[in-house]
Chain A
Amino acid sequence: MSYPSEWTLRRAIAFFAALGVGVATYIAIAEASGEAPACLAGGSGCRTVAESSYSHVAGVNIAVFGIVGYVLLLASAFFANDAARFGGFAVALGGFGYSIFLTYIELFKIEAICQWCVASAVLMTILFFLNATRLIGYGGTNGALPSRA
């Protein structure tokens, strides 16, 4: 099976992680200023989600955890070693899993959808698949494609 070069994957990871930092930072700033993130097509889903009890864990806005996660993913793209490959995969896996949980919560518990949360979930899903491809394709190697016996 052929994989994109690790350099290409790292650039894509850096790009989507930087977008994620932007989205999570916007949600965190909107929350800190007492406003809900603005819904692009109107509606009140973002306010409903932001005001729900699920928007905070241990008193900290989950967007702050999002910023930390995306920054770690961005950092992992700058190194071509196994620690960065596995670290990036683990963070993306955690973010992807939590995004599934939050989407479930939005649909069935809060019963409101926030476009910014959906945007973050999509970015985290893309980052999970990119990091998984990077780990499977280049884990345990020096960056060149692993030889097949």
Chain B
Amino acid sequence: MTATSARLDPPLLEVAALGRAFGPRRAVSNVSFSLRQGECLALFGPNGAGKTTLLRVLAGLLKPSAGNARLSGMELPGGPAARARVGLISHHTMLYEALTGRENVRFAARLHGITDQSRVDAALDRMAMLPRADTPVRSLSRGMQQRISIARAMVHSPRLVLADEPYNGLDESGARSLTSLLRALREAGTAIILVTHNLHEGLALATHAAIMKSGSFIRFDRKDAIDSTRYAERYRESLGASV
């Protein structure tokens, strides 16, 4: 694998003392980590921990109120060049219901300057949505909508994928498509931050794991240092201990 050579490259994403407050409420505070190409950070934590806010800052939707984050050396939120390298998947589908799946993905592609139709088809195909691509999104099931949404997020071949509870709403076959897609991306050198409540799925894909609570990382481990069988216990402990 490319593990050894990856270690010699500079990190793709560097986050230093990142904070984001909404008025008096600190949603994210003092988060630091770095991620190299091909690494996947599984991010766990209770609701309201700040995971979504963290991802939104990294996606360029929010400005940090403290600290900074750099993607390939570009300070986030960066301009168009930085946003072109990031793909955001959320539990909201971010789709236009009146349009078809294909039109939604094509629109996303055009926003990135991509006019090549085959990339649109390939993105849809990776999520096994090609057969239903010409149905208006509103007629699709939640799981299929989520698959279209994932295709939309990947059509521009981002270097960093931010996935906020992407398994939400997916049925088994959708979940399998997603896992194999994420794995393939990781092997091709894409960095991934995966927020999920599913410890098992998360750890299966991860190279690093973090637990977030009240805006900060209370644990950060390399995957090979984790005993997966005991991680669930550790997770509960960490949450209980940090009250």
A joins B in a complex: no
